[in-house]
Every structure is written in C-alpha cells, then in structure tokens.
Chains A and B, each alone.
Chain A
Amino acid sequence: MSEEPFEPKIVGFLCNWCSYRAADLAGTSRIKYAPNIRTLRVMCSGRVDPTFVLKALAQGADGVMIAGCHPGECHYLEQNYKTMRRFGMLKHTLRALGIEEERVRLQWASAAEGVQLAAAINEMVEQIRRLGPLHWSGNWSEDGERLEAIEKLAEEHAQAMEVPA
C-alpha cells in the first residue's frame, strides 16, 4: 500500500429542492466543507434507489450521504418519508453485511441550512477517516493460493493423460 494519508471518498446524493441548494448556499456564503464529498443532484431524496448506494460502496466509495428536505417539507409532498423508510431498511441490511453505521448517512437539510449541511459533511468525513477505507472489492479479491491450485490441477491432469495436452 502507498504511504499517502487516507482521504475518504464520499458520494453525496443531494435533492434538488433543499439539500443541493443548501450546498450552494454554503458555497456562496464562503462556508468551507471537506472536499471529500462528491455531490450528485437528484430531483428528490426519494429518487435514491438503494441500488445507487450499494453500487457506490461496491465500486470504491468509503461512505454515502443521502440528503433531502426535512420530513413534511418535501417538494413532492411525502417522498422523503419513503426515503426515511428505505434508509431504515437499507441500514438494517448493511448492518447484517458488516458495514459500519457511520458509512451511510441520511441528512435533512433545507435550502437555508448551508451551515448545518457543511457541518454534517465535515463530521461524516472525520468519522470515516477514523474508520479507514472501506475497500469493499477487497472482500473478494483473488489470492495466489487459488491460482496455484488450479495450475496444479491442470498439470496433474495433463500428466495423467495418455495423450499429452
């Protein structure tokens, strides 16, 4: 492994109507937040299919933040309640797979809450920094023992054959 210090990669799904504007507000207000988050604008936090979260984690993200309007303030009436329920069930599943609590976070942030969103991002980055890299694909990366065994098997079979391979 390289000696570079670990910088968490976080994928953020921010809703168009509140949280993405909160991030904009943070920017125009010169509020700094950690650059570790890569924000993606979605129309609603209810659009965030759990597949997106799983895909991000599987492909190298160390954490995922879903941010949307506060409950009761959804632009699409009540879709963020669905987000809340899906998030609960997704976390229940991720827990069973051994993924730490802090890695997937649901954050409510209204368009006026640039400060709060920036603070939440900073907090999440620090939490994940302490946890270290997720490196999920390492869970099934191949090792030499396996390749060696297959080569040996092929060799053994070739030797045992009357007609060489």
Chain B
Amino acid sequence: MTAKPKLALYWAASCGGCEIAVLAIDEKILDVANAFDIVLWPVAIDAKVRDVERMPDKSIDVCLFNGSIRNSEQEYMAQLLRRKSEILVAFGSCAQEGCIPGLANMYSRDEIFQYVYRDSPSVDNPQGVLPVPEYQAPEGTLHLPVFYDTVKTLDQTVDVDYYVPGCPPEAENIWTIVQAVVAGLGGAPLPPPGTVLGKETTVCDECARTRTEKKIKAFKRTWEIMPDAETCLLEQGLVCCGIATRAGCGALCPKVNSPCIGCHGPNVDVDDFGARMITALASVIDANTPQEIDRIIQEGIPDPIGTFYRFSLPHSLLRRRSLTGDGNGHRVAATKAAETA
C-alpha cells in the first residue's frame, strides 16, 4: 500500500469558524480522509504536537493553517508547521489578513488585559490578577504563552505558499482547492507561490443590483434605512465594501439587503483594503467644501477602522493603532528610559 499524502489542519487566534467551514464540504470530508492521512487536526482528531515534532522536516504535504498570530505559542506552532510542511496555506481571513482578532491592534496588551481581566462588568477578580508568562507555584514553574501587543498575520510570521480568502472560506472553494492539491501532488502544475486561491474580481461583479452614477449626501447605517432591493446599496448611502472585496461569495449579503462588510478580503492588487475603500467612497461624496465633507464623514462613519479594516487591520500598511512606546512590548521603551536615566 502506497502511503497517502499527509495533511495537517491547525488553528491559532481564530473563532473556529474555519474548522466548521472545512466540515461544511459535507460528505466530501470522507473523500478528504480517503485521499489524505490527517496527521494533526486539534478540533477533530487526537494527534499530538509531539507527534508532529518527531516527524522529519517537509514530511507533511499540505498544512491548512487558520488563525492569526497573537502569542508565542501560536508563533511556535506556525514555525513548526512551516518547517514540517511542503505547502503551507494561510487558510481563511485570520491567517491571511488578521481578521476580527486583528482589531485588537487598536489596543495594547496592557489595555486589553486591563479590560478583560479587571474592568469588564462580568469579571470578578478582586485581587486584580493578570496573566503572566511565568509563575512560581509550590508545585513548580508554570508557563503561559507570551501575549503580544500586535496581532500578526501568518505571512508576517513565516513564509506562506498559498492563501485561501474568506471569513470563513466557502465550502465550494475549499473543495476546489482540495481537488487542485490532490492533482498537484499527482504531478499537475500548481499555481505560483503567493497566489490567493480565489476569484480576481470584486463582489460588485457578482451583485445583481442596478448601478448608476453615485453621489452620496449622507452615509447611512444599516438600521437607519430600509434599502430597496434593486438599487446599488452604496447609492442608497450604505457603506458597502463590495467595491474592494474579492468575489467568491456570490454577493450573499447584498442579495438579502445587507451591505458587504468585506469578509472575503481584498481583491487582487489591493494593497490596503481601507485605502481602497477611502478612495472609492470619498470620491462619491456630494460636497465641495471641507466643512461639509467633514460633517458627512463624521456623521456617517463613526468608526473608520471597524468599517474599513474590519477584517484586515494587521495586514494593512499601518497594521495597528499607534503604541505610545517602542513597539511590541513597550516595556522595551521603559527599560531604555531607565537605562539612560
């Protein structure tokens, strides 16, 4: 019996939706199990990290890695799986562009800890205990992963061969990719490394709504209007991200009167999702004085980062909100200051 190709699936900072998406290919998952020897998949099988560590380098044929990198344990796993895998795929929006966990880049580690472990109304922590990477317990030293200030994408951590877009990726796309990989292992040509395995057009292309000339006097939020079912949502004042977003979903949200929020990631050649949104949206504002323009923007877009970078803050050119200090672990700045003092 010839050995089956090896497949690993892993999750880092993610919600688990990508795992569900893999199972959403339904009974075809049995074909996947037939075609591959699954060596690691924490959500479904009982393989251990130790087993992977023992494997020779490059012995995993394909690894689908979902989730962004926000602590040292995840970074370790990313490095390990990179070393052990022939093909490493950034699977889903978190691994590709940071996604929702990446919005934490609006805060520092200290701010996050302060809220999550102390200030949040549902927290009961009278001693104000915060997680520390190392703790001396009577039984010995205990370790927790180091929590980073800045969430990173997979390709900001290790080299990535392919990207699968989407929060989460669609079942059909996953199945197409699995088939392509099986064919590739059989000798068929694979796309060049760095390819995003998806369509190369925007959601607007898949949207059936009628588009005419856009002129916007006011941006509306979804609860403010009941949009009609025929006209382009953007023309009705809703901030629809279809203009910058990669196609592939079949314009699901616009179909049900809800604007695109950009979950399928930036279209090809979009360096910065937010910048593309700003370019396109701002151009159609129907005002010619800075005061009027500012008013329309302030009133209509109260949260520019949540609107333009909901899925892509770590992957964007600026990656995060400014840290008042010297970078990841601004303690470095404090130490420096102490040294010079």
Residue of A nearest to B270 (CB): A51
Stretch among A24-32, A33-41, A52-60, A118-126 lining the B interface: A52-60
Evaluate contact between A141 and B328: CB separation under 8 angstroms. Answer: yes
From A89, A143, A165, contact of B304 by CB (8 A): A89
Q: Is B73 an interface residue (CB 8 A)?
A: yes
Contacts of A141 in B (CB 8 A): 326-328
* Chain B: interface residue total (CB-CB under 8 A): 55
Complex contact B279–A50 (CB within 8 A): yes
B315-341 vs A: 1/0 string, CB under 8 Å? 011111111001111011000000000
Contact A82 B320 (CB under 8 A): no
Would you give the shortest CB distance from A12 to chain B, in whole angstroms? 19
| CB < 8 Å neighbour of B305 from A90, A97, A160, A165 | A97
Is B54 within 8 A of A161, CB to CB?
A: yes
Number of residues on chain A facing chain B (CB within 8 A): 43
Q: Does A4 contact B (CB under 8 A)?
A: no
The one of A71, A90, A97, A161 that contacts B322, using a Cβ cutoff of 8 Å: A97
Q: Which residues of A contact B150 (CB under 8 A)?
A: 139-140
A99 interface residue (CB < 8 Å to B): yes
- Which single member of B145, B274, B318 contacts A149 (CB below 8 Å)? B145
**Among residues 128 to 143 in chain B, which have CB atoms less than 8 Å away from a CB atom of chain A?**
133, 143
Contact with A along B299-312 (1 / 0, CB 8 A): 00101110010000
A138→B327 contact, CB < 8 A: yes
Contact with B along A3-39 (1 / 0, CB 8 A): 0000000000000000000000000000000000000
Produce 1/0 per residue, B112-154, CB < 8 A to A.
0000000000000000000001000000000101101110100
Contacts of A97 in B (CB 8 A): 305, 318, 320-322
Interface flag for A93 (CB, 8 Å): yes
Rounded to whole Å, the gap between the CB of A60 and the closest CB of chain B is 12
A51 and B317 within 8 A (CB): yes
A84 touches B (CB below 8 Å)? yes
Chain A residues closer than 8 Å to B319, beta-carbon distance? 58, 139-140
Select from chain A the residue with minimum beta-carbon distance to B304: A93
In the complex, A154 Cα to B297 Cα: how many Å? 49
Docked CA distance A21–B316 (Å): 34
Residues in chain B near residue A54, CB distance under 8 A: 272, 275, 316-318
Partner of B321 from the list A49, A82, A96, A145 (CB cut-off 8 Å) is A96
Residues of B within 8 A of A (CB): 49-50, 53-54, 72-73, 75-76, 79, 106, 133, 143, 145-146, 148-150, 152, 271-272, 274-276, 278-279, 281-283, 285, 287-288, 290, 293-294, 297-298, 301, 303-305, 308, 316-323, 326-329, 331-332
5 interchain pairs, CB-CB under 8 A:
A57-B317, A84-B290, A86-B279, A88-B297, A139-B328
